[in-house]
């Protein structure tokens, strides 16, 4: 289980997260919903320890380490003169069975230079790299941005697979329907805290949710 206790993050005088608490069970997919600037990315960066915070982040009774996280950021940057295949070879050897399975699923032109990929193809490439890392905590910050209809369904499938592997998945999205499809719970981030957690049976209440 992942336990986030009394997380506080400030930038200069601005308190972005304030006594933020959240528990996530293994094999659980949690959506984080919050307006622009609510602190979603700041929360992810705290888990990843790339911002200064106070509070505790515990995984299986031990402090969470960066090496236990796979983090797909909203924007993905690539060196343009590298092929998809070269990029992925940094994550795992190319004859590994997981590599082959993912390549077949995503059907990307791996011998092309990344600079010729569309933004959706780049997103898929970054996602494959992230999945190859095979970590217990998987953070997906706006994974649906720029991904086509087929890609969205591949993402649903991938997130479902992560769940079946008992991994923790944390997803943020502005497209609330994508969270309904993927998440076991949806946590509302407002005023620097998780103000409410909606279970699947309560999603109907979120249909017309406005901040």
Judged by the rule CB under 6 A, the positions of this chain that interact with ligand ATP are 11, 16, 34, 36-42
What stretch of H or E contains 61? none
Residue 177 or residue 204: which is nearer to ligand ATP going by CB?
A: 177
CB of 110 to ligand ATP, least distance (A): 30
What sections of the chain are H helices per DSSP? 40-47, 84-89, 97-106, 119-133, 149-164, 176-182
Q: In the complex, what is the shortest distance from the CB of residue 41 to ligand ATP, in angstroms, rounded to a whole number?
A: 3
| Percentages of the chain per state (helix, strand, coil), in multiples of 5 | 35, 30, 35
Nearer to ligand ATP, 36 or 62 (CB): 36
CB nearer to ligand ATP: pick between 38 and 179: 38
Local structure of 186: helix, strand or coil: strand
Q: Give me the residues paired with residue 147 across strands.
A: none
- Nearest distance, CB of residue 138 and ligand ATP, angstroms: 17
Q: Give which of 209, 203, 156, 151 is closest to 178, Cα–Cα.
A: 156
Instruction: Round to whole Å and give the CA distance between 199 and 211.
Output: 19
Closest CB 16 distance from ligand ATP, rounded Å:
4
Q: Which two tokens stand for residue 129?
A: 């790299």
Tell me how far CA of residue 186 lies from CA of 26, 61, 139, 152, 173, in angstroms.
16, 24, 14, 19, 11
In the complex with ligand ATP, the residue whose CB is nearer, 39 or 151, is 39
Of 40 and 92, the one with the shorter C-beta distance to ligand ATP is 40
CB of 11 to ligand ATP, least distance (A): 3
Residue with Cβ nearer ligand ATP (34 or 143): 34
Question: Among residues 47, 39, 53, 92, which one has the least CA distance to residue 66?
Answer: 47
Q: How far is the CB of 44 from ligand ATP (least distance, A)?
A: 8
């Amino acid at each position: 289980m992942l336990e986030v206790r009394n997380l506080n993050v400030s930038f200069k005088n601005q308190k972005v997260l304030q006594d933020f608490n959240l528990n996530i069970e293994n094999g659980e997919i949690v959506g984080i919903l919050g307006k622009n600037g609510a602190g979603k990315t700041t929360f992810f960066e705290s888990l990843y320890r790339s911002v200064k915070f106070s509070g505790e982040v515990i995984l299986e009774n031990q402090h969470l380490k960066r090496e236990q996280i796979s983090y797909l950021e909203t924007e993905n940057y690539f060196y343009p003169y590298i092929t998809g295949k070269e990029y992925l070879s940094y994550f795992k050897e190319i004859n590994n069975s997981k590599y082959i399975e993912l390549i077949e699923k995503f059907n990307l032109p791996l011998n092309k230079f990344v600079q010729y990929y569309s933004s959706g193809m780049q997103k898929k490439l970054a996602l494959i790299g992230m999945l190859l890392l095979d970590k217990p905590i998987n953070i997906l910050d706006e994974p649906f941005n720029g991904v086509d209809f087929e890609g969205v369904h591949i993402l649903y499938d991938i997130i479902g697979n992560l769940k079946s592997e008992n991994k923790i998945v944390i997803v943020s999205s502005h497209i609330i329907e994508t969270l309904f499809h993927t998440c076991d719970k949806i946590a509302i981030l407002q005023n620097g805290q998780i103000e409410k957690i909606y279970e699947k049976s309560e999603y109907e209440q979120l249909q017309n949710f406005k901040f």
